[in-house]
Amino acid sequence: MGWKSKGLEPNSKSFVTKKWTLLLCIGCFCAGMLFSDRMWTVPEAEDKAASRGPGFKDDRLRLISEGCHPILKHVQHEPKNVLGEVSKTHNAIQTLDKTISTLEMELAAARAVQESIINGSPISDDMKIPETIVKRKYLMVVGINTAFSSRKRRDSVRATWMPQGEERKKLEEEKGIVMRFVIGHSATSGGILDRAIEAEDRKHGDLLRLEHVEGYLELSAKTKTYFATAAVLWDADFYVKVDDDVHVNIATLGATLASHRSKPRVYTGCMKSGPVLAQKGVRYHEPEHWKFGGEGNKYFRHATGQLYAISRDLASYISINQHVLHKYANEDVSLGAWFIGLDVDHIDDRRLCCGTTDCEWKAQAGNICVASFDWTCSGICRSVERMKDVHRRCGEGKNALRTATF
């Protein structure tokens, strides 16, 4: 039976509207819940931002303005920290370098002693390796080059510008100035010459014995051995070599060298550049003249041999590299050659080579000379007889060392 037969024909339009109205309500409700959940999270975040204070919003803006890499914010504050770290690293490297240099010098000294033992050579008391102690710092070590035949010259120096006995020890302790006559051994070990020197040293205690065989043609080797030995025995700012026929004002020398303490690698003296003598038989003949070019050429600048001084760094360099440093016929040329390829401050100071005639009026004018000698004799002519006279005319005074401060 159909709907029409019963008289109950439904309104199809009304039926469809109710059904879809229900579905539409449900859909709207779900959509509303979803939309409401998304929208209300922003106010909640803003409330939290407000509760954290006004700075939070500024930080967010700053973070956005600096991009997606917040580490950049910290990099802007790094330079000061980086400079500090670089400075610390530099200091650490310097300390390490000094430690290595000290260890290398101690190793060189140990090798020298070992070679002496193997070769059967006598070992000087100064060269014996002491117990591990902290070395004191000295201003300078003054090595006075001398020979077996120069006893009278040594006595003339002792009677004038070199303090003796307790005064010399006090000079070391209070002023940091070490003074020694420098001499090696004779070709006949333990012979009469060596015994005479040993007796003299027992009397005065002012000799430094080197592991070196004496000889005029061996001055370059002696100079090298002296600096290498002195650098191991004494930790000084400067090391001086002077001949035993030269007059020296020690206080003036100390003040002069002290003024160069802040400079690294100092080599000071009266700089010269003499001719290279190729002719055999003449004084100061250079057997290796061909290395310096053609005939008539001159040497490179180097300090004259009567007196010169080098700083700690250069003495250490000689000590470490002594086995490979070439020796020329003239010791002052050899020393200059060892430094020619290094970054060295060559200081030409004419007060280190005054004449014995002009040192007097310079002293009277208040410009006291460091060293005085006669160029014609490469030292003070007849120094044994004239040293006291030069000291009287050109000396700095009895109280100069006592009142000096370095």
Number of domains in the chain: 1
Q: What is the pLDDT of residues 55-92, one digit of tens each?
A: 544 554 454 444 444 444 444 445 556 666 766 776 67
Residue 99 pLDDT exceeds 80: no
Q: Is 208 a member of any domain? A: yes
Q: Which comes out higher in pLDDT, residue 358 or 274?
A: 358
Q: Is 235 a member of any domain? A: yes
Going by C-alpha positions, the residue among 135, 117, 141 that lies closest to residue 211 is 117
State the pLDDT confidence band at 21, using cuts at 50, 70 and 90. confident
Residue 163 carries which side chain, given as an amino acid letter? P
Structure tokens at 244: 């035993």
Q: What is the mean pLDDT of the chain?
A: 81
Structure tokens at 147: 């020979």
CATH number at residue 375: 3.90.550
Q: Is 22 a member of any domain? A: no
Residue 29 pLDDT exceeds 90: no
Q: Is 174 a member of any domain? A: yes
pLDDT at position 280: 86
Q: Is 363 a member of any domain? A: yes
Q: Which comes out higher in pLDDT, residue 379 or 78?
A: 379
Domain that includes residue 321, residue range:
138-403
How far separated are the first and last CA of the chain, in Å rounded?
137
Q: Percent of the chain, pLDDT > 90?
A: 56
pLDDT at position 83: 67
Residue 171 pLDDT exceeds 80: yes
- Which of 99-108, 113-122, 203-212, 222-231 is predicted least confidently? 113-122
Q: What is the pLDDT of residues 348-378, one digit of tens each?
A: 999 999 999 999 999 999 999 999 999 999 9
Residue 46 carries which side chain, given as an amino acid letter? E
DSSP 129: P
pLDDT at position 371: 98
Q: What is the pLDDT of residues 192-219, one digit of tens each?
A: 999 999 999 999 999 999 999 998 789 9
CA distances from 332 to 45, 196, 246, 328 (A): 86, 29, 16, 9
Q: What is the pLDDT of residues 226-265, one digit of tens each?
A: 999 999 999 999 999 999 999 999 999 999 999 999 998 9
Judged on CB neighbours under 10 Å (0-12, 13-18, 19+), 78 is exposed
The arithmetic mean of pLDDT across residues 397-402, rounded, is: 90
Q: Is 64 a member of any domain? A: no
b/e 8-45 (16+ beta carbons within 10 angstroms → b): eeeeeeeeeeeeeeeeeeeeeeeeeeeeeeeeeeeeee
Q: Is 259 a member of any domain? A: yes
Residue 53 pLDDT exceeds 60: no
Report d(CA 268, CA 258) in Å as an integer.
Answer: 12
pLDDT at position 283: 80
The pTM assigned to this predicted structure is 0.69
Residue 24 pLDDT exceeds 70: yes
Q: Is 32 a member of any domain? A: no
Q: What is the pLDDT of residues 278-333, one digit of tens each?
A: 888 888 888 888 888 777 788 899 999 999 999 999 999 999 999 999 999 899 99
- Which of 83-97, 173-187, 296-310, 389-403 is predicted least confidently? 83-97
Find the helix or strand (DSSP H, E) in which 158 lies.
Answer: helix 151-158
pLDDT at position 279: 82
pLDDT at position 139: 98
